[in-house]
């Protein structure tokens, strides 16, 4: 108790500007999708959060349905805020989202004004916050007019419940349309949250250019492919890993399909003098439009290892080509 943050925390990690905005984010941010629900060990989650903050990670990413059960990650994060992080509230960027299944009936999912505004109110209550720093529409919804979802984000910001608005999982064309609507409403989109890793490269098509042109930053999620791009699965699937747990989203088949490439990538990382996890993070950060790599962690040691990525962020052409060959084999 009586947590006091490390005084040197802002010397420990670089920060990058998020698009054309006043906000900078640490090159690594921490997400609470897994490992912070009621099925998890609260004290372990608390330690991970405080270690992250002690190392300059100022940004914590949540969503209405992170858990399990839904809502429990926000509730548990609220508990850590209350016991430890509240004095540092103005040093934190806390985000939440709505867009996937959250509550029963026709109004607890997708992209209506009804859902987004009610969900934001619920998230604030669970975390016991007056506002979140970023509120996202979590995924595109083609049955709801885009104007309706964007006007809801705009209202959430203008009513002071969020400081900035973001979108997640939107393809390039819908992103450009959303950006235009939000600019006209006077609440420019701050950030886009797409999935991006060595195994998931869709943003390299049009999205990166769209974001650059619109002055929107990218925070890329699952840069470690949910733990696959680490040394965790090199010798099989550990019981306490995401692929080993009943409620984890990483499927055993995906691990088995990709493990040969993972082993080869691990050799490249070793030659670079870093771990595979560090190399996977450096690889997503090579694009200037990528403001932050949004990681998950089930142990304090994961955060400590990833923080060191800054020691080796650059790739030689030879290293980059070796990785391409492995990924395309």
Using CB under 6 A as the criterion, which residues of the chain lie in contact with ligand NAP when the complex forms?
31-35, 61, 138, 168-169, 193, 221-227, 230, 232, 241-242, 277, 294-298, 302, 305-306
Taking the complex as a whole, the smallest distance from the CB of residue 314 to ligand NAP amounts, in Å, to: 20
Nearer to ligand NAP, 25 or 224 (CB): 224
Residue 162: partners with Cβ closer than 8 Å, 6 or more residues away: 120, 131, 132, 133, 134, 135, 153, 156
Nearer to ligand NAP, 150 or 224 (CB): 224
Rg (CA), the chain: 19
Nearer to ligand NAP, 4 or 239 (CB): 239
Closest CA to 300 of 36, 46, 32, 23: 46
Taking the complex as a whole, the smallest distance from the CB of residue 222 to ligand NAP amounts, in Å, to: 4
**Number of Cβ within a 10 Å radius of residue 228:** 26
Taking the complex as a whole, the smallest distance from the CB of residue 31 to ligand NAP amounts, in Å, to: 2
Nearer to ligand NAP, 267 or 318 (CB): 267
DSSP 11-34: GSS-EEE-SSSS-EEESEEEE-SS
Nearer to ligand NAP, 298 or 316 (CB): 298
Taking the complex as a whole, the smallest distance from the CB of residue 21 to ligand NAP amounts, in Å, to: 19
Taking the complex as a whole, the smallest distance from the CB of residue 304 to ligand NAP amounts, in Å, to: 8
Q: Where are the alpha helices (DSSP H) in the chain?
A: 42-54, 72-80, 113-127, 146-158, 172-185, 207-214, 252-272, 276-284, 300-307, 317-328
Any bridge partners for residue 137, and if so which? Answer: 98, 167
């Amino acid at each position: 108790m009586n947590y006091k943050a490390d005084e040197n925390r802002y010397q420990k990690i670089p920060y990058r500007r998020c698009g054309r905005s006043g906000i900078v984010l640490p090159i690594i941010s921490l997400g609470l999708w897994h490992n912070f629900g009621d099925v998890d060990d609260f004290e372990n989650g608390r330690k991970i959060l405080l270690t992250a903050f002690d190392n300059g990670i100022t940004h914590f990413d949540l969503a209405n349905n992170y858990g399990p059960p839904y809502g429990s990650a926000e509730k548990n994060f609220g508990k850590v805020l209350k016991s430890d992080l509240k004095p540092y509230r103005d040093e934190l960027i806390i985000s939440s989202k709505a867009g996937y299944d959250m509550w029963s009936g026709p109004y607890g999912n997708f992209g209506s004004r009804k859902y987004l505004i009610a969900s934001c109110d619920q998230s604030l209550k669970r975390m016991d916050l007056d506002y979140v720093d970023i509120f996202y529409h979590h995924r595109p919804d083609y049955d709801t007019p885009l104007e309706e979802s964007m006007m809801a984000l705009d209202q959430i910001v203008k009513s002071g419940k969020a400081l900035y608005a973001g979108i997640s999982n939107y393809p390039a064309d819908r992103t450009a349309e959303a950006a235009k609507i939000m600019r006209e409403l006077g609440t420019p989109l701050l950030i886009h949250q797409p999935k991006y890793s060595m195994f998931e490269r869709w943003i390299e098509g049009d999205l990166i250019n769209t974001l650059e042109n619109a002055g929107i930053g990218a925070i890329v999620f699952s840069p470690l492919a949910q733990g696959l791009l680490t040394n965790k699965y090199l010798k099989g699937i550990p019981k306490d890993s995401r692929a080993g747990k009943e409620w984890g989203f990483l499927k055993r088949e995906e691990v088995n399909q990709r493990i040969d490439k993972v082993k080869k990538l691990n050799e490249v990382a070793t030659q670079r003098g870093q771990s595979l996890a560090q190399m996977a993070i450096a690889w997503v950060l090579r694009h200037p439009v990528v403001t932050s790599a949004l990681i998950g962690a089930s142990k304090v040691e994961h955060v400590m290892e990833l923080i060191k990525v800054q020691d080796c962020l650059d790739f030689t052409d030879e290293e980059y080509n070796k990785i391409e060959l492995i990924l395309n084999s």
